């Protein structure tokens, strides 16, 4: 474990590895996003009930899934901070929050743009929408807490504790459509047999992979910049 | 032309295009900001 901490999870190793990976991740992400956008907007057939309005799912679903996946990753980082005392985990946690907040914002905005033509309203206080709004506030709270505490160790521990406590919201978001009667439809792709035609599914999976690549790219860039700043200050 | 470009989106264009536009702007701004910060912080190599 000590070897992993000193080598694989060390700041210099991360910096070297990430700068080597950056061009590859950038190219693969760009290809996936271009295919996903073209496939989602022009190639996938219109939905038999929702018409072309359903095309919003190609930006809404990946944003929402990423918003939850990034928070889950942050909870994992919080364990790394509190239990393993990894410096890199703390850096990954706060930078993930700064990225995740935007994916959550996008999930809410694109969701309301989908809701208006489908449900007749931009917003309703239903379980899925409200729990997603709570997630946005959690992200903002974590960023604000990080900015409010000057002392490093107290800051890192407080942020990790809040991230870990807020993780309870993730299963609530996921199962909200099962536990409560909501306007929001059930899962489309997060089950063994997706309830979507393969011609519609392919661009959606490409967008999902592209958004994941974008998160990796943004995290590497943000962490790399911060690590370099720390080296300069030291 | 509008139909060929599929701009009307079967009457849903007013919702589909803003959803894609706001996503593109937010994500592009994130990438540009992150790249700029990374480039500024990058250590200069010898001889450059």
Look at residue B14 and tell me if it is in a domain: yes
Name the pLDDT band for A48 (thresholds 50, 70, 90): confident
Distance from CA of B6 to the nearest CA of A (A): 8
- What does the mean pLDDT of chain A come to? 89
Which among A59, A217, A224 has the least Cβ separation from residue B19?
Answer: A59
Domains of chain A: 20-233 (1.20.120)
Distance from CA of B10 to the nearest CA of A (A): 6
Backbone angles phi, psi at A86, to 5 degrees: -90, 125
- The percentage of residues in chain A with a pLDDT greater than 90, rounded to a whole number, is 66
The residue-averaged pLDDT of A33-57 equals 91
Backbone angles phi, psi at A47, to 5 degrees: -70, 145
Could you tell me if A207 and A40 are in contact, meaning their C-beta atoms sit under 8 angstroms apart? yes
Count of H-run helices and E-run strands, chain A: 8, 0
Distance CA A157, CA A148 (A): 13
Structural domains counted in chain B: 1
Look at residue B20 and tell me if it is in a domain: yes
- At B1-48, the pLDDT tens digits run 556 567 888 889 999 999 999 999 999 999 999 999 988 887 655 444
SS3 A160: helix
**Among the listed residues A232, A234, A229, the one whose alpha carbon sits nearest the alpha carbon of residue A91:** A229
Q: Which residues on chain A are in Cβ contact (under 8 Å) with B18?
A: 113
Of residues A162 and A229, more confidently modeled: A162
**What's the domain range around B21?**
10-40
């Amino acid at each position: 474990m000590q070897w992993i901490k000193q080598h694989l999870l060390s700041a210099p190793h991360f910096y070297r590895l990430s700068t080597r990976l950056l061009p590859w991740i950038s190219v693969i992400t760009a290809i996936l996003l271009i295919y996903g956008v073209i496939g989602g907007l022009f190639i996938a057939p219109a939905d038999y009930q929702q018409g072309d309005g359903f095309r919003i799912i190609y930006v809404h679903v990946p944003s929402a899934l990423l918003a939850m996946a990034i928070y889950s990753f942050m909870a994992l980082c919080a364990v790394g901070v509190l239990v393993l005392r990894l410096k890199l985990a703390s850096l990954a946690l706060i930078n993930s929050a700064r990225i995740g907040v935007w994916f959550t914002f996008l999930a809410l905005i694109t969701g309301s743009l989908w809701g208006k033509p489908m449900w007749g309203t931009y917003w309703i206080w239903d379980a899925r929408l409200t729990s997603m709004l709570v997630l946005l506030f959690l992200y903002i709270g974590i960023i604000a807490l990080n900015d409010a505490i000057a002392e490093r160790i107290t800051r890192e521990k407080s942020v990790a504790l809040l991230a870990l406590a807020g993780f309870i919201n993730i299963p609530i978001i996921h199962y909200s459509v099962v536990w409560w009667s909501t306007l929001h439809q059930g899962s489309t792709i997060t089950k063994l047999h997706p309830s979507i035609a393969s011609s519609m599914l392919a661009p959606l999976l490409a967008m999902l992979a592209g958004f994941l690549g974008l998160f990796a790219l943004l995290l590497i860039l943000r962490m790399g910049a911060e690590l370099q700043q720390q080296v300069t200050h030291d | 032309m509008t139909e060929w470009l599929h701009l009307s989106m079967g009457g849903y264009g007013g919702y589909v295009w803003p959803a894609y536009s706001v996503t593109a702007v937010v994500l592009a701004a994130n990438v540009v900001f992150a790249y700029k910060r990374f480039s500024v912080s990058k250590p200069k190599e010898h001889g450059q």
